[in-house]
Structure 1
Amino acid sequence: MAVPASTPIEEVKEDLVPSGDSKPPGAGALRRILRKPSVIFSLAFLLIVTIMAIFAPLITQISGWTPYQFDESAVDPATGGLPLGGLGGISADHWLGVEPQNGRDIFARIVYGARVSMLIAICATALTMIIGITLGMLAGFVGGWTDTVISRLMDFLMAFPALIFMIAVLSAVPHGNRPLLLVLVLSLFSWPQTARVVRGQTMTLVNREFVEAARASGAGKMTLIFKEVLPNLSGTVVVMATLAVPNFIATEAGLSFLGVGVTPPTPSWGQMIAQAVPWYSSHPLFFAIPGIFLFLTVFSFTILGDNLQKIWASGGRS
Structure 2
Amino acid sequence: MSLPESQLERLESTVNLDVEDPERVLGKSPTQLALGRFRRDKLSMLSFFVVSTYVVGGIMAPVLVKVGVIDPLKLNQDLLDPALGSIPKAKWGGISWAHPLGIVPGTGTDLLSRLWYGITFSLSIALAASLVAIIIGTVLGIIGGFTGGLVDSVVGRLVDLTLSFPQTLMLLALSATGVALAAKYLPGNGSDPLPNGFYEVLVLGLFGWPPICRLIRGQVLSIREREFIDAARLLGASKMRLYFREILPNLWAPVLVSFTLTMPAYISAEAALSFLGVGIHPPTPTLGNILVDSINFSVADFAYFFFPALLIAIIVVSFNLLGDGLRDALDPKADR
Q: If the TM-score is normalised by the length of the shorter chain, which range does it land in? A: 0.7 to 0.9
1:150: which partner in 2?
155
Q: Distance in 2 between matches of 1:37 and 1:199?
A: 32
Q: Which residue of 2 aligns with 1:68?
A: 73
Relative CO higher for 1 or 2, CA cutoff 8 Å, sep ≥ 6? 1
Whole-angstrom CA distance in 2 between matches of 1:51 and 1:223: 35
TM-score when scaled to structure 2?
0.82
Secondary structure in structure 1 of the residue aligned to 2:308: helix
CA distance in 2, matches of 1:146, 1:29: 35
Q: CA 1:217/1:57 → structure 2, altered by over 3 Å: closer, same or farther?
A: closer
Question: Are residue 78 (structure 1) and residue 83 (structure 2) matched?
Answer: yes
- 1:257 maps to 275
Give the letter for the 2:128 counterpart: C
Asked which structure has the greater CA Rg, the reply is 2
CA distance in 2, matches of 1:283, 1:63: 27
- Opposite residue 308 of structure 2, the aligned amino acid is P
Q: CA deviation at 1:60?
A: 4.3
The separation in 1 between residues aligned to 2:99 and 2:298, in whole angstroms, is 19
Distance 1:102 1:50 in 2: 28
Aligned to 2:281, the other structure's residue is in SS state coil
Q: What SS does the aligned partner of 2:296 have?
A: helix
| 1:155-234 alignment runs, 5 A limit | 155-173=160-178, 174=180, 175=190, 177-234=195-252
1:2-48 CA distances to partner (integer Å, 9 max, x unpaired)?
xxxxxxxxxxxxxxxxxxxxx98432432342243322321222222
Equivalences for residues 286-297 of structure 1 within 5 A? 286-297=304-315
TM-score of the two chains, using structure 1 as the length reference: 0.86
Shift of residue 203, structure 1, vs aligned partner: 2.1
Preserved contact between residue 91 and residue 97 of structure 1 (Cα < 8 Å): yes
Unpaired runs of 5+ residues, structure 1, are 1-22
Letter in 1 for 2:45: I
Number of matched residues?
296
Q: Give the 3 Å change call, closer, same or farther, for CA 138–111 of structure 1 in structure 2.
A: same
Q: CA deviation at 1:168?
A: 2.3
Please tell me whether the aligned partners of residues 129 and 202 of structure 2 are also in contact (alpha carbons under 8 angstroms): yes
> CA separation of 1:94/1:274 partners in 2, compared to 1, >3 Å: closer, same or farther?
same
Q: CA RMSD of the aligned region, Å?
A: 2.2
Name the CA shift for 1:305/1:316 in 2 (closer, same or farther; >3 Å): same
Deviation of residue 178 (structure 1)? 1.1
